[in-house]
Structures are given as structure tokens and as C-alpha cells.
């Protein structure tokens, strides 16, 4: 069943939708420290690819494009949909504190 297209088997959440985020967002799940949460504004996906504020600054500095060099810094990681939601929740909670 884990071979289903677009699905991943998470050791915590079971079979979930696959999602992709930068390694810094994954690290925030371990530390609980929000690092930002950016995604393409034109995306209509429920859980679009996401990256942190540091990666966003690097993308903008590179002219807005995801260059090969920049992709090495971003170091995309696979998360299950529930882990993605948890990571996004860390960012949302951090926004409430700073507002």
C-alpha cells in the first residue's frame, strides 16, 4: 500500500499523502522553533511544497528562481501529510506569539 502514488508510510501516522519541505522545517519539528513557512502563492494543492524564511531569502537573492546551487541549501525532505501539518502548526503558533 505504501507504493501508492503520492503516498508515504509514516512510522507515526501510517499511510499519508507525501509532502516536500526544506530541511530547516524538518529541524523545526525537533526543536519546536518556528523557522518560517513559505509556499507558492499560485498553488492550489492542499499541502504545497514549503520552505523556511532563510531559504526564501536565498531564493529572492538568487532572482526568485530555484537554482541547482540553491536546491543544495534547501535540501528537500519528504514528510507525510500529518507531519507537514505539525510543522506548519509550529510556524502558526510562532506567528501568534510575535503578533
Burial grade of 31 (CB within 10 A; 0-12, 13-18, 19 or more):
exposed
Beta-ladder partners of 16: 8
Q: For position 99, what pLDDT does the model report?
A: 52
C-alpha cell at position 66: 530555484
Exposure of 91 in the CB half-sphere (CA atoms within 13 A) = 19
66-80 pLDDT per residue, tens: 999 999 889 999 999
Q: What are phi and psi of 78, to 5 degrees?
A: -90, 130
Q: For position 2, what pLDDT does the model report?
A: 55
Please tell me the pTM assigned to this model: 0.88
C-alpha cell at position 99: 503578533
6-30 pLDDT per residue, tens: 999 999 999 999 999 999 999 999 9
38 conformational bin, left if phi > 0, alpha if psi -120 to 50, beta if neither: beta
Q: For position 94, what pLDDT does the model report?
A: 86
Enumerate the domain spans of the chain: 7-98
Average pLDDT, the chain: 92
pLDDT of 37 over the 70 cut: yes
Cβ contact 41:54 at 8 Å = no
Amino acid at each position: 500500500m505504501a507504493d501508492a502514488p503520492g503516498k508515504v508510510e509514516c512510522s507515526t501516522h501510517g499511510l499519508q499523502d507525501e509532502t516536500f519541505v526544506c530541511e530547516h522545517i524538518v529541524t523545526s519539528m525537533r526543536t519546536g522553533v518556528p523557522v518560517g513557512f513559505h509556499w507558492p502563492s499560485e498553488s492550489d494543492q492542499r499541502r504545497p511544497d514549503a520552505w523556511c524564511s532563510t531559504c526564501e531569502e536565498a531564493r529572492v537573492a538568487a532572482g526568485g528562481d530555484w537554482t541547482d546551487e540553491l536546491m543544495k541549501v534547501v535540501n528537500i525532505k519528504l514528510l507525510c501529510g500529518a507531519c507537514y501539518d505539525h510543522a506548519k502548526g509550529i510556524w502558526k503558533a510562532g506567528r501568534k506569539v510575535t503578533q
